[in-house]
Structure 1
Amino acid sequence: MRASLETADIAIVALYFVLVMCIGFFAMWKYNRSTVSGYFLAGRSMTWVAIGASLFVSNIGSEHFIGLAGSGAASGFAVGAWEFNALMLLQLLGWVFVPVYIRSGVYTMPEYLSKRFGGHRIQIYFAALSLILYIFTKLSVDLYSGALFIQESLGWNLYLSVILLIGMTALLTVTGGLVAVIYTDTLQALLMIIGALTLMIISITEVGGFEEVKRRYMLASPNITSILLTYNISNTNSCNVDPKPDALKMLREPTDEDIPWPGFLLGQTPASVWYWCADQVIVQRVLAAKNIAHAKGSTLMAGFLKLLPMFIIVVPGMISRILFADDIACINPEHCFQVCGSRAGCSNIAYPRLVMKLVPVGLRGLMMAVMIAALMSDLDSIFNSASTIFTLDVYKLIRKSATSRELMIVGRVFVAFMVVISIAWVPIIVEMQGGQMYLYIQEVADYLTPPVAALFLMGIFWKRCNEQGAFYGGMAGFVLGAIRLILAFIYRAPECNQPDTRPSFIKNVHYMYVATALFWITGIVTFVVSLLTPPPTKEQVRTTTFWALKNRNVKENTAKGELYKVQEKSILKCNENANHIIPNGKSEENIKNIKPEDINLLVTCRDDSNPVISVSHSEVETPVDCYSNGQAALMGEKKHEEETDDGDRHLKFIDWFCGFKSKNMNKRAVREIEEETVCLQMLEETPKVKLLLNTGLVCVCSLGIFMFVYFSL
């Protein structure tokens, strides 16, 4: 019997929605969303606390509450390995990938690939792949799991609930941009942790403690006799009713069907490198940090928070099986369909069933708000990040002359387009079998993302890697992965009481081993082709590799010196008595005495009420054209009066006669040098801060290793 919402529950859910929308409109009112960087990167003004919370809640969506808890109910501790693996990969993001991204000065991951390798082939390939994964895997999983919770716990109309949630999430994203997303994520992280911890305490108390959870889980088998008497089942056969013998171990034997340890370490980890270090949803949040110290602090915070899902999601899922074994561990497809509407299994209802049976009235509304928070946080993250990729990596290539206003409109329209696609996808989700779909989505990522992870790793760590090698290596991995994915879709796993007639290379080769092969094949092809073709240019590797970070102090001084030289060259003089005038209105003496703190990112205005805005460019030029992520402008730059055609010709003649470059070329050179200077400043850390961050790095990685060992012995 399904529980219904009481007045107190409705009040709590309504209060939650009011708070979320207020935060979104506050972000819309207070922060600058009229620029590309303001909308897509939150003006690079976020602190480590807000970003760390956003990283956590963007990952822990409704599919985690449904999927992680369901996998915990079905197979024990194994699924927690993804969480502890993420804990350490987040630090790889903070200490290796993000410094390179900042040094490169990029908005999006496809933009980084284009800057690193040149051309647009890899950029377009990665952008298209990311959008496909966002729309047809992440959105489908979120919508299915969120709808499943609503249907199981409240009995609301499925389509109406999904449309309402998508609509509110899209409204939040469109109005506030990334600022609204990060601030609402902070609220939702707090709400999610409080609610999930509350349920964990209630459920563990119900069964008598953590040790009792482990003991009773191994005994949590359904009562077949009672089920046959209760349900009208024609098929009396049963299968997979007992917990697996190694359910209390995390990393398992090489032939295990859940998590074979060689496949997880060598195959699943590269796929996770893509998600945590090169996926726009995650990286975009860290790029919104004020500087590298806040970026690293956010990954440390998110890493510590990733210790929680094992205890607040997986363990409650196991407890749900203990308490409701006859439903969660259904005995055959016919019984499963009667219990939860899916012939594949009913483990996915473990968490909502626990909520509706154990949580008292009032607190149930809080848990409902937690689930809505998880769903909305994941959806708004996907909406914002997919909009960023489409706007800056696809639309900008089609319309190179697009204005900043046009890009903002296109970004918002694309969110609306994704809403329509998401709603149209709902009937397909409902018709697909729940358990099979969730596992299938995990396979999709492992078949398509390891080649991308290989390209990013080789691009960052190997200077000799070039565009030809990366393209053909990526294509080789993609084609092989796509073929394996199609075969997996054609040869679906049979129901538990049916013989498995699939080919042996489909049936006996775990998808993690396939991911391992794809990763190394991509790397080998990239390596060979890169050596057989010309090396990349110096400009392509100057700021886009890990090794570019080593000599940044020397380069910073060089960049400052070059800045002054370029400014001096722009002085229009033909003799010693000429007036020294700088084109942007500053005197030569002022330019020489300018301090580093006088150079500000357009996307990082220190005074939000008075942002630095360049007005020396035509309306056609956009922040993407002139001020890519990390580019700077001198404070106080004044608008130049339009010059007559005759004056332009005279100035060009004087420039030519005196041997100077044109003013536009000088301005472009100044901007490039200013960009590099400010990017280098963002990478600076004081010794005390560096020591503190490195200490945190050692602590969080040690905890991750300890958890792996503890739950695998």
Structure 2
Amino acid sequence: MLDTIDMVVLLIYFILILGVGIYASCRSRRTTIQGYFLAGRNMNWILVSGGTSLFVSNVGSEHFIGLAGSGALNGIGAASLAINPIFLLQLLGWIFVPVYIASQTTTMPEYLEKRYGGKRLRIYLAVLSLILYCLTKLSVNLYAGALFIQQSMGWDLYISITLLICITGVLTITGGLTVVMYTDSFQAVLMLVGATVLTVQGFVQVGGYEGMKAKYMTSSPNLINIEEVYNVTVNSSNECIPYPNPEAFKLLRVSLLHYNMNVSISVWYWCADQVIVQRTLAARNLSHAQGGTILAAVLKTLSVFVMLMPGLISRILYTDELACVPGDHCLKVCGSSVGCSNLAFPKLVLGILPSGARGLMMAVMIAALMSDLDSIFNSASTIFTLDLWKRLKKSTTNTELMIVGRCYKIFLLILSVVIGVSIGWVPIILQFQKGQLYFYIQEVTNYISPPIAAIFLMGVLWGNCTEKGAFYGGLVGSLLGVSRLLVIFVFKPPKCGEVETRPAFLTSMHYMYYSALMFFVTIIVAVIVSHFTTP
């Protein structure tokens, strides 16, 4: 638990972040559309335009919890997903951003309308984006942040989440994107420093990298000790005991070649998602936007070391808890019968850091949660105001749009509280990826994003793609994704030792191969329809 010194560190953090927010709010141009939603398109590359702010808008509390948990359970394999953005960010900076800036685009749905004509693609993407932000990004971030707060502070879960949401909302509502970018830049420094300190301290505990490798491969749970401590009878079959993965320190494995099929989700997230792209659109010119993507790629590389490695170290130090046996043992450790790997990061923080440093890491987790939430609030407000409200009401003034944007953020705050209160449903969803939060995010997103990525890629790279081609291609791809997503919720995976009863539709094809299928089907349908319709 955190002590008095830790709480003082937390208080200092809140004072600093509020000070940065107030300073940025005074500097922001909050009375115009460009000023409020795109920070006046005057941000420089090193502080906010794409580098630190773009990095922080991607790295939230779910990355600390999820990457460390995957490291504890499977080794360094998840790093291949964290390295992908190095290349995708340059695709954003040198292929997509020049098109977005040249077309004076404010939102991603607006670009689709400018590129293809018509309004249905713009409305479709706007509605889909808002649903995704509310039901995926908000819920996952709240769950990850709540897990850390619950472990470290013992506060009431829902009061803590509500307080964080309200503080984030006040900063975002008052100053718009300028405040978001300044606070993100401050939080980026805090995240990297805090996570680096934890990683170095962890390596000291296990004897460096070579010591970590040797000890990780022997970190098997002690079944006799588990039965005595937790008063449970564990299933001693080999398939149920989470022994260390023999390929734990192989970055590219046979089972991880699926990641190479992950282009569609990566293109959507890094090149066409409003939360990410909005930062580059706020750059003062193309050079600053491209410089920002380079800086963000460098910072993203660091996440492999300061978020994934602590998970491996944590498993070594807390083997019986993190490598729990599915069933009653895991249920007693963390309340989930499928696994407790998501506890890896908070357990390491609370177990090895001294007083004060624990408070710093708590501030890091809060910073990660707040940075993700403020990015979501601002981007969702931008899409709702400019892509939906402006479409529904033709004659509107800038003042009205400012009021609508702020009111929608207040609506999101209330919705976030509702999601936070009902956050108990998230662990149930996590059953689908053996409790690994990071891979749950990957799977769900892989069923939604491929058609969007295909539409944007064809829009930028192929001038003959028509509006009807893009719309019907996206529609077919989305139907394929939704159909599999619904089947997943109906047919739950078997528990350890149970017989597989799910249809071959789920078991015979990995979700990343299915994602690739959706991506190419969307392109094929769009090409065929485009050849029979007028450009």
Measured in 2, the distance between the counterparts of 1:213 and 1:64 equals: 21
Counterpart residue type for residue 526 of structure 1: A
How many aligned residue pairs are there?
A: 525
Maintained 8 Å contact 2:227/2:234: no
Partner of 1:251: 252
Cα root mean square deviation, aligned: 1.2
Partner of 2:431: 436
What whole-Å deviation, never above 9, does each CA across 1:334-359 have from its counterpart, x for those lacking one?
A: 11111111112100000000000000
Maintained 8 Å contact 1:472/1:526: yes
Compute the displacement of 1:26 (Å): 1.6
Q: CA 1:298 to 1:356, structure 2 compared with 1: closer, same or farther past 3 Å? A: same
Mapping of residues 298-309 of structure 1, within 5 Å: 298-309=292-303
Between 1 and 2, higher relative CO (CA 8 Å, sep ≥ 6) is seen in 2
What whole-Å deviation, never above 9, does each CA across 1:513-551 have from its counterpart, x for those lacking one?
A: 01000000000000110011112xxxxxxxxxxxxxxxx
Quick check: 1:341 aligned with 2:335? Answer: yes
Compute the displacement of 1:30 (Å): 2.2
Partner of 1:34: 31
Partner of 2:43: 46
Partner of 1:150: 149
Partner of 1:478: 478
Quick check: 1:449 aligned with 2:449? Answer: yes
Measured in 2, the distance between the counterparts of 1:125 and 1:481 equals: 15
Quick check: 1:76 aligned with 2:69? Answer: no
Partner of 2:399: 405
Measured in 2, the distance between the counterparts of 1:223 and 1:284 equals: 49
Measured in 1, the distance between the counterparts of 2:389 and 2:168 equals: 23
Counterpart residue type for residue 64 of structure 2: F
Partner of 1:386: 380
Compute the displacement of 1:234 (Å): 4.3
**What secondary structure does 1:361 align onto?**
coil
**What secondary structure does 2:301 align onto?**
coil
Mapping of residues 262-411 of structure 1, within 5 Å: 263-266=258-261, 268-411=262-405
Maintained 8 Å contact 1:76/1:318: yes
Mapping of residues 122-271 of structure 1, within 5 Å: 122-237=121-236, 239-253=240-254, 256=255, 259=256, 261=257, 263-266=258-261, 268-271=262-265
Maintained 8 Å contact 1:343/1:433: no
Maintained 8 Å contact 1:344/1:433: no
Partner of 1:531: 531
Measured in 1, the distance between the counterparts of 2:511 and 2:503 equals: 14
Quick check: 1:515 aligned with 2:515? Answer: yes
**What secondary structure does 1:33 align onto?**
coil
Counterpart residue type for residue 49 of structure 1: I
Maintained 8 Å contact 1:228/1:236: no
Quick check: 1:20 aligned with 2:17? Answer: yes
Maintained 8 Å contact 1:333/1:344: yes
**What secondary structure does 2:265 align onto?**
helix
What whole-Å deviation, never above 9, does each CA across 1:361-381 have from its counterpart, x for those lacking one?
A: 011111110000000000000
What whole-Å deviation, never above 9, does each CA across 1:263-314 have from its counterpart, x for those lacking one?
A: 3212x12111100000000000011111111101000000111111111010
What whole-Å deviation, never above 9, does each CA across 1:601-630 have from its counterpart, x for those lacking one?
A: xxxxxxxxxxxxxxxxxxxxxxxxxxxxxx
**What secondary structure does 1:464 align onto?**
coil
Compute the displacement of 1:428 (Å): 3.5
Higher alpha-carbon Rg: 1
Measured in 1, the distance between the counterparts of 2:397 and 2:118 equals: 23
Counterpart residue type for residue 360 of structure 1: P
Measured in 1, the distance between the counterparts of 2:47 and 2:490 equals: 44
Runs of 4+ in 1 over 6 A off after TM superposition: none
Maintained 8 Å contact 2:143/2:426: no
Q: CA 1:398 to 1:149, structure 2 compared with 1: closer, same or farther past 3 Å? A: same
Counterpart residue type for residue 250 of structure 2: K
Percentage identity across paired residues of the two chains: 54
Mapping of residues 82-101 of structure 1, within 5 Å: 82-101=81-100
What whole-Å deviation, never above 9, does each CA across 1:147-193 have from its counterpart, x for those lacking one?
A: 00000111110000000000111111001110000000010000000
Counterpart residue type for residue 401 of structure 2: L
After TM superposition, the structure 1 stretch with the greater mean CA deviation from structure 2, 238-247 or 525-534, is 238-247
**What secondary structure does 1:336 align onto?**
helix
Counterpart residue type for residue 533 of structure 1: T
**What secondary structure does 2:176 align onto?**
helix
Measured in 1, the distance between the counterparts of 2:223 and 2:360 equals: 35
Greater helix fraction, Structure 1 or Structure 2: 2
Compute the displacement of 1:237 (Å): 4.1
Q: TM-score, normalised by structure 1?
A: 0.72
Measured in 2, the distance between the counterparts of 1:146 and 1:465 equals: 43
Counterpart residue type for residue 245 of structure 1: P
Measured in 2, the distance between the counterparts of 1:83 and 1:264 equals: 10
**What secondary structure does 1:429 align onto?**
coil
Measured in 1, the distance between the counterparts of 2:445 and 2:28 equals: 35
What whole-Å deviation, never above 9, does each CA across 1:73-124 have from its counterpart, x for those lacking one?
A: 1111111111110111001000010000001111000000000000111101
Maintained 8 Å contact 1:181/1:377: yes
Maintained 8 Å contact 1:192/1:374: yes
Q: TM-score, normalised by structure 2?
A: 0.96
Compute the displacement of 1:207 (Å): 0.4
Measured in 1, the distance between the counterparts of 2:104 and 2:516 equals: 31
Q: Which runs of 5+ in 2 are unaligned?
A: none
Maintained 8 Å contact 1:170/1:415: yes
Maintained 8 Å contact 2:89/2:294: yes
Counterpart residue type for residue 19 of structure 1: L
